[in-house]
Structure 1
Amino acid sequence: MNNHSLHSFDELREASSSDCDGAKVAIMMCSFNGVSFLKEQLDSFERQHHRNWELYVSDDGSQDDTLELIKRWGCERVKIFDGPRKGFSANFLSLTCREEINADYYAWSDQDDIWRQEKLQRALSYLQKVPANVPALYCGRTELVSETGLHVGYSPNFSLAPHFNNALVQNIGGGNTMVFNQAARLLLQKAGGDVIVPSHDWWAYQLVSGSGGVVLYDSEPMVLYRQHGDNLIGANSSWLARLRRLRMIFKGRFYEWNGQNIIALESMFSCLKDEHRATLSRFKNLRNKSLFARVFGFFRLGLYRQTLMGNLGLVLAVLLKKI
C-alpha cells in the first residue's frame, strides 16, 4: 500500500467497521423521470446500518413526479440540484464536482435500485483501511432483479485483479456500486465535470487505477440492480448482451469510446503513474498500426479483460482495427 498499489478485496478482509461509524457519506444520485421505482431506493437509504449520510440529487429535467416524491419523502438530509441535461454520465460527473458537497466518502446511486442494509458500512469498512492520501474506489457485483424486485440472477463475478491494463479495455464495476474516498473525488474534480467519456464509472476505474490508487472489487452483491425497459444500461451477463457488445465492436463503438477515454486520460497525464503513462501512449499509438505491428504490440502490452469471452472479443477488436 506504500506504493499506492492495487489490492484485491480479500486482502482487506479483516477490516473492522467500528473505525468508520462517524465518517460522513455523500450519496450522489442522478434522477430523470424515475418516479416508478424511486421510493424503494430512497427507503433503502433509510435502512442503511451506517447512519451518517446525506443525499444529493441532480435531476436532469424530470417531467413526472420524481421531484415531488423526493420532497414528500420528508428526509431533512436531502439537497436537490438542476442537472446539466447532457446525459447520465455528465450528470454524475457534474454532481461529483459540485464544491458545496463535502464528505469523507462519496457513493454514486441510480434512481431505481435497492441497496442492501450493509452496503455503506461494508464499503467504508474497507475503504478506511486505505491511507487518506491514496485514491480508493470500492465497487462490486450486483444482484439482478426484475421490475417487481424478484431475483433473476447476478452480474459476472470478476476474479482477476483490478489494474490499469484492465481498466483501459473494460469496466468491472457499475457506478451504482461505487463508493470512493476524498482523494479519488479530488481526482474526478480535477478532471472536471465536462470531460467527455463514455461512462462515469468506467472513467473512475481508469482514473483511480491509472493514478496508482486502490481499487477494491467486492464479489458479494450489495445492490439489487433492477432490470426494466427504461434502463439506460442493463446487465451485461446474458448471451444477448455479449452479442450486442460484438455488434458494437463491428460498428466501431468500442473504437470511439477508447478514443474518448484516451483524450480524457491525456488531460490527466500528470496524475498518472509513469508506467501507466507509458501504457497509455503505447495503447494510443498501436490502435492505427499495421495488422502485424498492432497484434504483436497489443500482445506485449498486456491488456486484459476479466473473462475468456471478453478476451476473445478483445482479440477480435485488435484484428479488425476496432480497438
Structure 2
Amino acid sequence: MHTDTVAILMATFNGQKFLEEQIHSIESQSYQNWKIWISDDESKDDTFKKLLALEQRIGKSKISINKGPQKGFCQNFLSLICHADIKADFYAFADQDDIWQTNKLKRAVDWLKPIPKELPALYCSRTEIVSDIDKSIGQSPLFKKPPSFANALVQNIAGGNTMVMNDAARSLLKNAGEFVLAVSHDWWAYQLITGAGGVVFYDPVSEVRYRQHSNNLVGSNNGLHQKLQRIVLLFKGRFRSWNAVNIKSLNEVSFLLNEENLKILQVLSHARDGNLLVRLFGVYRSGVYRQTLCGNLGLFVATIFKKL
C-alpha cells in the first residue's frame, strides 16, 4: 500500500485535444496515492468543460480545479507549487499533453523516499519524444555529467514534465514565491534546489512520452534544426537575456542559497559584464558547465562575444 501522498500539479491552457489521454495515463499509474491539482489559465477552447467532466467522473477527492493567474505557463505552475491548500509528501509537475508510463510516479517516489526529509530533493528524467499521434520520434539527450548549481546556472537538464520533488524542495520554491521572474518553472526549480544545497537525480530511464505538436510552448530542443536555431538565438542575445532574468531572481532570494553556490553566482554575475579577460577568467573560476562538448564550446563562444 502506498502511504506517501503525491500532489500532481498540472497547468492547463487550451489543452482540450490531449488532456483526457494524459489524465488517463495518470489514472493508470502503478502508484495510486495521488491527487491532481489543476490550474487553468482561462482556456478559450473546451478544456474547462472537459475538466469539469473529469472532476465529475474521477471525484473531487482525486482532482481539484483552480483558476490560474493568467500570466503565462511559468507563473501558472508556480501558483500551484505555492498554493497554500496543497499539502503532500511529494509534488509532481505535469504537462497537459504528455503521456505517463505506468511506473512514472513509482520510480520517482522510490528514489525520493530514502532521502532525509529535511534535505531538498528533486527527481527528473530523460523523456521519450513522440508525435502528436503518439508515434515515437526518439529520446531526449542523455546527460551524463552530475546535476549541480554550476550546471543549472547555464543549462536546464530537468524537464518539468518529469519532475517530482519532496516537501523540503517544495518549501524552497514556496519561500521564493509565486511571483518570481523566471524563464521557466522547471529551470527555476533546478537552480533553486541545487543552489540551496539540495540533491538532484537525473534518471536515464524515460517514463514520460513527451508529445511534440504545433502548440508546444516549449519544444524538445532535439535535432539539427533546433541546434542551429539555438546558435542563431544565441547571437541574437536570447541566452544572455535568459541568464540576466535568472541571475536577478536568484540574487533576490540569495538568502536561500548556500555559501558555496552564492559565491559561484557572484563570480558569474561579475564576469558577464567585464572585458574579455574578466569574462573568460570569471567563467572559468565560477566552474559553470554544460553537459556536452558542443554545449561547452557554445558557452565559450557566448563568453567571448559577451552573449552569456
Aligned mates of 2:229, 2:135 — CA distance in 1: 25
1:57 aligns to 2:38 (yes or no) = yes
Map of 1:71 onto structure 2: 52
- For the pair 1:254 / 2:239, whether they are aligned, the reply is yes
Name which structure has the greater RCO, CA cutoff 8 Å, separation 6+. 1
SS at match of 1:176: helix
Shift of residue 186 of structure 1? 0.4
Q: Between the two proteins, what is the percent identity of the paired residues?
A: 49
User: Please, what is the CA RMSD of the aligned residues?
Assistant: 0.9
Q: Which residue of the other structure, out of 138, 144, 149, is the alignment partner of 1:164?
A: 149
Please, which of 229, 233, 238 is the counterpart of residue 223 of structure 2? Answer: 238
2:128 maps to amino acid: E
The residue correspondences of 1:201-280 to structure 2 (distance < 5 A) are 201-280=186-265
Which one of 59, 71, 78 corresponds to residue 93 of structure 1? Answer: 78
Structure 2 counterpart of 1:116: 101
**Structure 1 stretch 290-299 or stretch 131-140: which is displaced more?**
290-299
- How many residues align structurally? 304
- The question of 1:24 aligning with 2:5 is answered yes
Is 1:184 aligned to 2:165, yes or no? no
Runs of 4+ in 1 over 2 A off after TM superposition: none
Partner letter of residue 174 of structure 2?
Q
Displacement of 1:68 in angstroms is 1.4
Match of 2:279 in 1: 294
* Residue-by-residue CA offset, 1:36-65 (whole Å, 9 max, x unaligned): 111110000110011100001000110111
Q: Counterpart of 2:4 in 1: which secondary structure?
A: coil
Query: Is contact 2:128–2:209 with CA below 8 Å preserved after alignment?
Result: yes
Q: How much has 1:267 moved relative to structure 2?
A: 1.7
Q: What TM-score comes out, normalization by structure 1 length?
A: 0.93
Secondary structure of 1:70 counterpart = helix
Query: Structure 2: which 5+ runs fail to align?
Result: none
Unaligned stretches of 5+ residues in structure 1 = 1-17
Q: Distance in 2 between matches of 1:248 and 1:209?
A: 27
Cα offset, 1:300, TM superposition: 2.4
Deviation at 1:95, TM superposition (A): 1.2
Deviation digits for residues 17-40 of structure 1, max 9, x if unmatched? x8xx21000000000010111111
